[in-house]
């Protein structure tokens, strides 16, 4: 890095606080992304379970429809109801599958976002560590008097 670092203890302390604040902001963003990912994963699991249940319900309605056709002469009304149930189950299954697919896509996007945030956090952490190491590696200020800065202006 070619950035000049302050030699004034107050300026160094302020820079350290700023770096710590940046780190905390990165940590908070990363933790929030992980919480959101966890929440979406739970929702996706529930949606998948609901889709499985809907598939079982669809098969049940198909079997019911078949049985009703066999006894169509005796149960025309029952057959009509089963067909209605079948269409409803198919529609429900389609909706559940679409929801599960959308949630899987959201998970993929959030996982990519979390991975990106993790990479950025690592880069920022490394950059901050380097800055701190360079700050602490500088020799202590000599002969400039208390409050003097590198620009010659007094710092309060």
CB 58 within 8 A of CB 40: no
Average model confidence (pLDDT) across the chain? 86
pLDDT at 147 over 60: no
**Domains in the chain: ranges and CATH:** 9-134 (1.10.287)
Report the pLDDT value the prediction gives residue 156, as an integer from 0 to 100: 46
**pLDDT tens-digit readout, 64-79:** 888 877 776 776 777 7
Percent of the chain with pLDDT over 90: 65
Q: Categorize the per-residue pLDDT at 32 as very low, low, confident or very high, splitting at 50, 70 and 90.
A: very high
Question: Of 44-58, 65-79, 114-128, which gets the smallest average pLDDT?
Answer: 65-79
Choice between 145 and 21, residue whose per-residue pLDDT is larger? 21
HEC secondary structure over 50-86: HHHHHHHHHHHHHHHHHHHHHCCCCCHHHHHHHHHHH
pLDDT at 129 over 90: yes
Which tokens belong to 64? 């019911």
Choice between 76 and 156, residue whose per-residue pLDDT is larger? 76
């Amino acid at each position: 890095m070619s950035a000049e670092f302050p030699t004034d203890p107050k300026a160094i302390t302020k820079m350290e606080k700023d770096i710590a604040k940046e780190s905390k902001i990165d940590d908070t963003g990363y933790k929030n992304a992980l919480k959101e990912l966890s929440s979406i994963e739970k929702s996706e699991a529930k949606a998948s379970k609901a889709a499985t249940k809907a598939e079982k319900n669809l098969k049940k309605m198909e079997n019911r429809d078949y049985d009703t056709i066999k006894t169509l002469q005796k149960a025309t009304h029952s057959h009509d109801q089963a067909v209605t149930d079948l269409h409803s189950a198919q529609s429900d299954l389609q909706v559940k599958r679409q929801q599960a697919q959308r949630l899987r896509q959201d998970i993929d996007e959030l996982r990519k976002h979390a991975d990106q945030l993790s990479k950025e956090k690592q880069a920022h952490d490394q950059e901050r560590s380097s800055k701190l190491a360079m700050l602490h590696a500088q020799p202590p200020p000599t002969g400039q008097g208390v409050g003097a800065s590198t620009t010659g202006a007094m710092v309060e």
